[in-house]
Amino acid sequence: MQRRDVLRLSAVAGAAGVLTLDPVSFAQADEAGPDQDRFRTITGHLPTGSPDFVYVPVEVPSGVREIAVSYSYDKPTVPSGTQGNACDIGIFDERGTELGGRGFRGWSGGARTEFAISAAEATPGYLAGPVRAGTWHIVLGPYTVAPQGLDYKVTVTLRFGAPGSTPRAVYPPQRAKGRGRAWYRGDSHLHTVHSDGKRTPAELVAAARAAGLDFITTTEHNTTSAHGAFEGLWGDDLLIITGEEVTTRNGHVVALGIAPGTFIDWRYRARDNRFGQFARKIRQAGGLVIPAHPHGTCVGCNWKFGFNEADAVEVWNADFGPDDEATVLEWDNTLVAAARGDGRWLPAVGNSDSHREPQPVGLPQTVVLADDLSRTALQDGIRSGRCWIAESSEVDLTFEAVDGRGRHAGIADRLPAAPDAEVTVRLKVSGAGPGRQVRFITDQGPLYTTTLPVSGSATVEWKTTPSYAAYVRAEVRHPASDGGAAGTPGPMVALTNPIWLGPTRPS
């Protein structure tokens, strides 16, 4: 296919363009051995500017027990600052490739060079089930294309025989024993071998327990295959929630708590105006919509869909860095807007996005006030903003505001004091480490800063009024690497959602 044809088809298909190649038939296969295995190899070239998704239709006859796919592509040297070749892969079955349809059978992105699907089993990232006759579609996702273009080779092998049976999926329970109404620690952005992670589910669970977590959420890129991979790994002490990291070309979103087996599509860009449709599907499946690492620096990580559909926002992802700093500042602006009655405020959460050792699970973790250790109770706590973020389970805090009439308000609550009434804001922190900096942030910015003693534990108080501070939130920071010379604070140790002050509270 000529370059002009590829670009023309991309323009016709829209921002998230789709190119469908000629069907691959096995009527005259490259090989038919005594075991009836047959394979076909497809090669091609994709120029710069190719569509986001290239479909290779495969005509699968009846009697196929397993379909196996391997692929490769060239990785030429490119000048510094120029994107090289990166190509993802996945597959849809005979039910079709309709956006949000039922045909999805798996996705491994760029994490694997081969996969196989049968009724009895499937490669992690893919869904076991019958290999029915009809037109299947292998999906190539040329994530980035070098100036020279991308040469690819795909080999499809069909193995014939008795189909076998598909084991019943066993999904994690919706609640664990817990401690009643309490603060629960969790990490809701995690990866295993079911996408581009290196840990097995068992290794992930072991790391979560070692980090002192009460719950985790499995959020593989663009697949639900891990939902049924945790059998026997949960317990009274650990709740495992099912989710997905919906990884589009214009940002990633954590679908936290979707019903097991629910597939959320990712094949669209911001200009396609489809995100609202799939945000609603996340909620219909019982999940929360949480944009992940909005200012992430990887290709496609920057969040371009706006925050109107969000239930919360991941302001801290893995080690706290400049991209997280930008997200915190952007999030704080939404609090200011909400304080003046312009829109709603979004709760802040933090997750590790851990993929492999030595990336820690639980750095950071979100600490949620919930009625019990259940999916719905934790979601209620996050949705309401009754949560805070810590770099580890060693860090603990309480944050409250008290007025002269003895009324108290905690994180995400409102203290309905008169505009000029004196309010005492109190942060009790422990386990933060010596020399850590405490900052109280308001709609005017940071108005009070102090340093913790050598013990790393203290109670810090500050007095204000609702007319002076529409809200107050707390930060605990490491010392700045330059000693504060540039005026930039150090990395985060802990971060709270706001306490609202005054007679009215934003929705």
User: Dihedral, CA atoms, 264, 267, 273, 279, nearest 10 degrees?
Assistant: 10
pLDDT tens, residue by residue, 476-507: 999 998 877 777 899 999 999 999 999 875 55
Q: Which tens digits make up the pLDDT trace of 342-385? A: 888 999 999 999 999 999 999 999 999 999 999 999 999 999 99
Q: Which of these, 344, 345, 346, 351, lies nearest to 367 by C-alpha position?
A: 351
Residue with tokens 């990884």: 247
Q: How far apart are CA 59 and CA 135, in angstroms?
A: 5
Assess contact for 109 and 247: CB atoms under 8 A: yes
Number of H helices, E strands in the chain: 5, 28
Q: What is the pLDDT of residues 64-80, one digit of tens each?
A: 999 999 999 999 999 99
Contacts of 427 (CB under 8 A, 6+ apart): 397, 398, 399, 438, 440, 459, 460, 461, 474, 496
What SS3 state is found at 344?
coil
CA angle 57–249–56, rounded 5-degree value = 10
Residue 367 CB burial class (10 angstroms; 0-12, 13-18, ≥19): buried
Read off the pTM: 0.94
The percent of residues in the chain predicted with pLDDT above 70, rounded, is 95
Checking if the pLDDT of 8 tops 90, the result is no
Q: Using alpha carbons, list the distances in angstroms from residue 133 to 42, 103, 119, 297.
A: 20, 13, 13, 42
Average pLDDT for the chain: 94
What is the model's pLDDT at position 16? 58
User: Which of these, 476, 488, 389, lies nearest to 441 by C-alpha position?
Assistant: 476
How many whole angstroms separate alpha carbon 292 and alpha carbon 222? 14
- What pLDDT was estimated at residue 5? 46
What is the residue-wise DSSP string for 184-208? EEEEEEE--TTTT--S-HHHHHHHH
pLDDT at 200: 98
Given a cut of 80, whether residue 112 has pLDDT beyond it is yes
Confidence of residue 26 (pLDDT cuts 50, 70, 90): confident
> pLDDT grade, residue 12 (50/70/90)?
very low
H or E element, residue 155: strand 150-160
Per-residue model confidence (pLDDT) at position 507? 56
Q: How many CA atoms lie within 13 A of 437 on its CB side?
A: 18
The H or E element that residue 12 is part of is: helix 3-13
- Nearest-angstrom CA–CA distance, 125 and 191: 11
Tell me the CA distances in angstroms from 491 to 153, 322, 329, 459, one per residue in order: 45, 9, 14, 21
Taking every pair of Cα atoms in the chain, the longest distance, rounded to a whole number of angstroms, is 88
pLDDT tens-digit profile of 393-421? 999 999 999 999 999 999 999 999 999 99
Q: Hey, which bits of 293-384 come out as E strands?
A: 313-317, 348-351, 365-370
Task: Give bridge partners of residue 409 from the DSSP assignment.
Answer: 401
pLDDT of residue 259: 98
Residue 367 pairs in a beta bridge with 185, 388
- Give CA separation, 385 vs 18, 252, 366, 504, in Å: 39, 21, 11, 17
Mean pLDDT of 157-176: 96
Q: For residue 6, what pLDDT is reported?
A: 46
